[in-house]
Every structure is written in C-alpha cells, then in structure tokens.
Amino acid sequence: MSISDIMYRSDGKSRVTAISIDAKSLVTPTYFPAISSFGVKHRVDSLFDLLVDYSYPRLLISAYDIHSMDTTKRKRLASQIKQYMKQSFVFVDSGRFESWWYKDSGWNFELFSETLKKIEYDFYASLDVFPSFQTRSQGYVDAVLNSIESSRAISSSPGFIAVFHGSTPIELVSIIEKTLEKVKNLSGIIALPERDCGVSIIDKVQTISKIRKLLDKYDDRIIMHILGCGHPKSLALFSFCGADTFDSLDWINSLVDIKRFELTDISYLNFSDCECKFCKNESMIYIERVLLHNLLFYQDFMKSIRESIREDELVSKMKNILGSDMVQRVLAKIRFE
C-alpha cells in the first residue's frame, strides 16, 4: 500500500520522503495551495487558472466545487487538469468542508463518487465523517472505517488518502489507532485537520508527534498530511514532528511576511520589503502579486525545510524562524522514543 520511500531522517521525527505516482515523484515535506469556493474572495476557476498559468507544481481542489460547476466549466477544468497532471500533482478533497459551511446536506457519497469519475487526479481523500453525537452512538470507528473503505473502492488510484477527524486531540489519536488496528494496509497516506490537533501550538505538536509515533508502529512510510495548515512557523514545527504534506487557503487569504515568518493582512504588500520578482513588478495587478509572492514563498520555504532536514539543521532553522526560547519550550514538551 505504501507509495513513498524515506530518503533521509533527521532531528525529531523529521524526514524527507519521495512519493511516487506513475512516473512522477513528489518530495516532502511539501505544501499544496488549496482552492475553495468557501471563505475566499476569488472564483475557483480563476484561482485554478493562476496555478496552471504559473505551472505551480501542486494544488488541492474540492470535489464539491467541481460538482457545483456547470457542465461546460467542469469539462474545461477536466481537460486542463489532464494537461496539468503531466508535470504536476492534483489532490482532490471530498468537499465536506464546503458542503458543511454551505449547510448542503445533499452532498453525499454518490455525488462524491460520481464527481471523481469525471476528472483525473493523483490523490483523493476519503469522504470525511465528522464526530457527532449520532456517529458516536452508532460507533464512530465503524462509521469512519465504512467511509474510508467505500471511498477507497471508488478508484484504484494509489494516491488514496484516509481522512480522520476528532472532536478532541485524544479522540483524533484514538480513532486513528483503532482504525489502524482494524485494517492493516489502510492507505499509504492519512490526513487530519490541524484544528483537531488542539488549541495551542504545544497541544498541536504533541498530537502530531503522537500520531507519527503511532503510524511508525505500523509502517513508517505512511505519509501524514495536515489539512488546513499554512502558517510558516507551524509548517516547520510539524515537519519536525514527522508531518509530510500540508494544504491551506492561507496563500489566498493572507500575505506571508517573509521576514517574520508570519501571515499578515494582504494590504501590506508594499511595506513587506520583499525583493521577489512579483513584489518588484508594479505593473502586475496587486492581488495577483500577493498570490504569486505567497506561492513563491511556500515553494522556496518548503525546499529550505527539506534542505535543513538533509543537512541535520532543522532545529537551528526552527530557532531562526521561531526564536530559541520558543523552540526550547516546544522541544521540552515533545518526547520521542
């Protein structure tokens, strides 16, 4: 079931892995810019076009948004994806995020499955099951397992991703553990939302470390994807804890402050002192400069994380990004055995 090889291990649980799909290879830790119709001010197709026009090597798109397009737009997107995938990676998520926010109870397994038949992709996520009183009373583990197994049966794609949620970090760790106990070779990739890992950054690094330790017991090549994670400081910390891939909408909704490794308001681009080719190009539309500046940052930043891991320098890189004091405090809270 594994689709990855560990190329290098270093500080903490950090690792560089290579995921191979068909003839393509993706090196981790890496970041997928996500596209969604919910919570952003730009149209899905224009964001998609931007990523394709600049040959950005990865993207995440929602099955719900693809389903919501009219036939002409969807066919155009499907043909663009086919072309784009020759060089780049497409991750389709289940669309539960959008349908939940839109309160669209009509989004179900059948529509999700039908949508996946209309497009190509490298990775696709299982249909999420959110923890609720109802699913708990019916047996949350069984509900999650059913959804993962039905989702896996949709396609023979090796890039199948089993998605987990938990209303608390303890529940999240427990559901992953119980599911892995029940089904061996569940999937080569698991995904979990950053927000379910805890409220504070200490909670989050502890949860992600625990999950890495758990996965390693079964197969250390299992890739851990963190959904909704794009803060540069968190990308460094979670890479240290053994997370491999990340996605978020931050590249659309924020401006990355490259000096402070912070996310800030998009209106501050002219004061960012950034020397990148997009920030310097004042003839470009402002918002396009912001998006491209952010995309370039994520590309370079994740590359620098991978280099730091390969050079056994991740802790010192984290100290540069977060400050020594914070790194010491975080390290004191994580125990790797």
Which residues are at the interface with Zn ion (CB under 5 A)? 274, 276, 279, 293
Smallest distance, Zn ion to C-beta of residue 53, A:
18
* CA 39/CA 289 separation, integer angstroms: 20
Smallest distance, Zn ion to C-beta of residue 251, A:
12
Smallest distance, Zn ion to C-beta of residue 290, A:
9
Of 85, 94, 78, give the one whose Cα is nearest residue 148: 94
CB nearer Zn ion, residue 110 or residue 282: 282
CB nearer Zn ion, residue 17 or residue 254: 254
| Tokens describing residue 278 | 């997009």
β-pairing, 160-163 with 189-193?
Answer: parallel
Smallest distance, Zn ion to C-beta of residue 295, A:
10
Smallest distance, Zn ion to C-beta of residue 268, A:
11
Smallest distance, Zn ion to C-beta of residue 58, A:
20
- Full 3-state SS string of 235-248: HHHHHHCCCCEEEE
CB nearer Zn ion, residue 115 or residue 294: 294
Strands (E), the chain: 4-9, 15-21, 24-28, 30-35, 58-62, 89-93, 123-125, 160-163, 189-193, 223-227, 245-248, 255-257, 262-264
Q: What is the dihedral of CA 18, 188, 94, 36, to 10 degrees?
A: -20
Phi-psi region of 89 (alpha: psi -120 to 50; beta: other; left: phi over 0): beta
CB nearer Zn ion, residue 225 or residue 231: 231
CB nearer Zn ion, residue 156 or residue 283: 283
CB nearer Zn ion, residue 32 or residue 278: 278
* CA 177/CA 188 separation, integer angstroms: 15
